């Protein structure tokens, strides 16, 4: 008898292969044929998991977003008061992090006339604001402007990510951390700065 097939593992493996192809060459690379070849499955197997290219993109996006959520949760589990450590997991650190952001870019480019994809994006943005709010609260306590601060930090993380993807040499992890520290101090108030606010001109 053949071994039972782990469909969830296959599906997830396929989504990550698709994410790789999209990140390296754009959405046009994510054909069932190319994904099958890269994943080592037949096109019949891949077609079983994804009805079409659009679904492949949605699952690749979700796999990238879930990967970030897992890193965020792990950072929070390791130290609930380490706000910077949690926020860093959103940034494109390492090849995997850069890949995630390139998949986001591809996804963002096709949401205009696709309410389902747009809703997916809206959900993850709201989720990001919610979990950042929790991380701020665990570090600095409850405050009236928690949601506004989370929104400002998310905006700053998104801008940093865009810069980092295109200029990784100028945005090494220590540069990102220094910039994050300074922005947290600015947005949450000087008193909230975990360390004296450093001059990060050199890091820019």
- Give me the numbers of helices (H) and strands (E) for the chain, helices first please: 9, 0
Burial class from Cβ neighbours inside 10 Å (0-12, 13-18, 19+) for residue 100 reads buried
Q: What's the min distance (Å) between Cβ of 159 and a copy of itself?
A: 3
Cβ neighbour number for residue 111 with a 10 Å cutoff: 16
Q: Which of 40, 112, 191, 196 touches a copy of itself by CB under 8 A?
A: 112
Q: Does 94 bind a copy of itself (CB under 8 A)?
A: no
Q: Does 27 bind a copy of itself (CB under 8 A)?
A: yes
Q: Does 123 bind a copy of itself (CB under 8 A)?
A: no
Q: Does 64 bind a copy of itself (CB under 8 A)?
A: no
Please choose, from the candidates 72, 176, 46, 61, the residue with its C-alpha nearest in 3D space to the C-alpha of residue 132.
72
Contact by Cβ (8 Å): 18, 60: yes
Residues making contact with a copy of itself (CB under 8 A) = 22-28, 102, 105-106, 108-113, 118, 121-122, 125, 144-145, 147-148, 151-152, 154-160, 162-163, 165-167, 183, 186-187, 199-201, 204
């Amino acid at each position: 008898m053949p071994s039972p097939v782990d469909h969830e593992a296959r599906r997830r493996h396929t989504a990550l292969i698709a994410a790789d192809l999209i990140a390296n060459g754009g959405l046009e690379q994510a054909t069932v044929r190319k994904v099958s070849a890269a994943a080592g499955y037949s096109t019949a197997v891949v077609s079983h998991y994804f009805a079409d290219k659009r679904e492949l993109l949605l699952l690749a996006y979700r796999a990238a977003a879930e990967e970030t959520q897992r890193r965020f949760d792990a950072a929070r589990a390791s130290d609930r008061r380490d706000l910077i450590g949690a926020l860093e997991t959103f940034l494109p650190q390492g090849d995997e992090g850069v890949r995630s952001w390139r998949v986001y870019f591809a996804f963002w480019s096709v949401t205009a006339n696709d309410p389902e994809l747009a809703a997916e994006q809206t959900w993850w943005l709201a989720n990001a604001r919610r979990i950042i709010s929790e991380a701020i609260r665990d570090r600095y306590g409850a405050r009236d402007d928690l949601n506004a601060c989370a929104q400002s930090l998310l905006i700053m993380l998104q801008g940093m990510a865009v810069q980092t993807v295109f200029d990784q040499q100028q945005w090494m992890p220590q540069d990102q951390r220094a910039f994050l520290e300074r922005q947290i101090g600015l947005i949450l108030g000087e008193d909230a700065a975990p360390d004296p606010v450093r001059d990060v001109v050199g890091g820019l």
